Chain A
Amino acid sequence: QKEVEQNSGPLSVPEGAIASLNCTYSDRGSQSFFWYRQYSGKSPELIMFIYSNGDKEDGRFTAQLNKASQYVSLLIRDSQPSDSATYLCAVIPPGGATNKLIFGTGTLLAVQP
């Protein structure tokens, strides 16, 4: 079992819809969770991080964390064609004093105009 799993997609949503991206992780003791966006040919850029159970909102983005079920999700409201990218989920496993990240393989999001 991979430590961090994501559906590779592509996830296709119409412009203006809500895109829901999901990620599961295997190590129950993981504490810190991150979402990155990566455009084709570019480097990953941080969208959000979340540490506590529940929701965290930043503009059109909401991260949701459920430690009991070991999943973290990213909702994108009012999706725009410019949101089309690969979204990477990353986790700091237990004992992560050096802040090493474990990444999922990413979900490709395609927002259709």
Chain B
Amino acid sequence: DAGITQSPRHKVTETGTPVTLRCHQTENHRYMYWYRQDPGHGLRLIHYSYGVKDTDKGEVSDGYSVSRSKTEDFLLTLESATSSQTSVYFCAISEEETQYFGPGTRLLVL
């Protein structure tokens, strides 16, 4: 257990509404990541952070933004949710080269 929590764990929302997912870690890791997981695509990196206020884009960043104002929190925001963003979202931290994952958030956009 790498001390990672995600909230909410489940969310249903409507197209066009903003959504923020939170990832919280308790062990002061520098690197944090947001992934989405979809059938047939596996885990794909959305955004990552390498320190407070230091973030960068991943493979599938369109439609998503992130913020990291404190070491322990990494927020993922869908500014205007679309049905294509229905997915399972995982947060991860990196300890040396190894990544450990949070429990995930299931998001359904209607």
Contacts and interface: CB of A to CB of B under 8 A. Distances in A.
Contact of A43 (B58, B96, B104): B104
A67 to B, nearest CB: 16
Q: Interface SS of chain A: helix, strand, loop or mixed?
A: loop
A49 B98 contact: yes
A43 B100 CA distance: 9
Interface string B75-110: 000000000000000100010111111111000000
Interface stretch (A11-19, A57-65, A76-84, A95-103): A95-103
Category for how many chain A residues contact B:
20 to 34
Contact of A88 (B42, B56, B58, B96): B42
B14 to A, nearest CB: 24
B74 interface: no
Contacts, number: 49
B90 A99 contact: no
A42 B103 CA distance: 7
In this complex, the member of B40, B41, B48, B98 whose beta carbon has the largest number of chain A beta carbons within 10 angstroms is B98
Interface in A33-61: 34, 42-46, 49
B99 A99 contact: yes
17 contacts: A32-B97, A34-B98, A42-B103, A43-B90, A43-B101, A43-B103, A43-B104, A44-B101, A45-B101, A49-B98, A98-B31, A101-B45, A103-B42, A103-B43, A103-B44, A104-B42, A105-B40
